[in-house]
Amino acid sequence: MKHFYLLAVAMLSFSIFAEEGRFGRDTNDYQYTSFGLSLISAEDDGIALNASLALPGPLYAVFERRADGVDLDTETYDKVVNSFRVGAHAGIGDILNSISAKGITFSVENFLDIYAEIGIKTTSLENDINNFSEDDAQANVIAGVRFGDSNAWEGKIFADFSKESEVIYFQCPDGDVCTQQVSYVLNDETDRKFGAEAVFNMSKHSAVNFKVISSDVLDSSFEIGFRFTF
C-alpha cells in the first residue's frame, strides 16, 4: 500500500492544470523561503512545522519540527523530531551546460532543480507512565529533485538518510535493580526513506502540499499541509 501512495503522489505532481506564468514567475522559479504546517497520518497522527530560508547564492536553510507518537504494545510514547539542515540547489541545465567534453557543449533547459541538504536531527521520546524521557542526535542527509511549474503544480522526489531511534522493552538482569522498564536504542543501520511531494501554488504567497514517505524502519506516513511562500 505504501508504494501505491508513493506512486499516486508522484503522478499527481506531474500534472499541470493552472495557466502558465499566472503569478509572473518563471516556470522553474521555485521558492526556497517558506513557513508551513502539516498534519501527519502515520503510526499515530501528529503535526509538523517547517520553515526554510533562502540564503545568498544557491544556499538555503531548513528547520523542521515533527510531533507524533510511537506505540509499544498498550502504551504510547510522545515523539518529537527536530531537524536543522543547510541545503544547496542548482538547475539541471546550469549543471550540464557547465560541462564540456572534447569541445562539445550542452544546451539544456532548467526543467528541474537538483538539491541536497545536510544537517542534524534530534529525537525525543517521553512517556509519563514509565517516567521515561530520552533524546539523541544524529546526522541527516536529504537529496532529491524538484520539478514542475512554480505558478501551478510542483513535484519533489527525494531520499532521506539518517539513523532512527526505537523504543524496546528492557530486560532487567537477575539481581540488578532497574529504574525503567523500557530502553531507547539507536538502530544500527541507517534508515532509508523515500518520498514524493506534490505542491499546488494557490497564490503567489500560499500553497498546499501532499507528501508521502516510506521507511525501512518506521511506518509509512502521509501528510497534507498549508504553507506561506516568499
Q: What is the pLDDT of residues 66-102, one digit of tens each?
A: 998 777 666 777 889 999 999 999 999 998 887 766 6
Quote the pLDDT of residue 17: 47
- The C-alpha atoms of residue 143 and residue 141 are separated, in whole angstroms, by 7
How many domains are there within the chain?
1
Give residue 18's pLDDT band: very low, low, confident or very high (50, 70, 90).
Answer: very low
- The C-alpha atoms of residue 6 and residue 205 are separated, in whole angstroms, by 27
Count of CB atoms situated within 10 Å of the CB of 177: 6
Please classify residue 135 by burial: count the beta carbons closer than 10 Å to its beta carbon, then call 0-12 exposed, 13-18 middle and 19+ buried.
middle
Give residue 181's pLDDT band: very low, low, confident or very high (50, 70, 90).
Answer: low
Quote the pLDDT of residue 16: 45
**How big is the CA angle at 187 (ends 183 and 189), to the nearest 5 degrees?**
165
- The C-alpha atoms of residue 123 and residue 179 are separated, in whole angstroms, by 22
Q: What is the pLDDT of residues 24-42, one digit of tens each?
A: 899 999 999 999 999 999 8
Evaluate if residue 21 carries a pLDDT over 70: no
Quote the pLDDT of residue 125: 79
For residue 56, the domain's CATH number is: 2.40.160.20
- The C-alpha atoms of residue 207 and residue 71 are separated, in whole angstroms, by 32
Q: What is the DSSP string of 22-47?
A: TTS--TT-----EEEEEEEESSS-EE
Quote the pLDDT of residue 177: 62
What the block records as the C-alpha cell of 162 is 539518517
Evaluate if residue 187 carries a pLDDT over 80: no
Point out the least confidently predicted range of 72-86, 167-181, 194-208, 209-223.
167-181
Report percent pLDDT > 90 for the chain.
53
Quote the pLDDT of residue 37: 98
Query: Domain residues for 161?
Result: 2-229
Q: Which helix (H) or strand (E) holds 139?
A: strand 132-148
pTM, two decimal places: 0.84
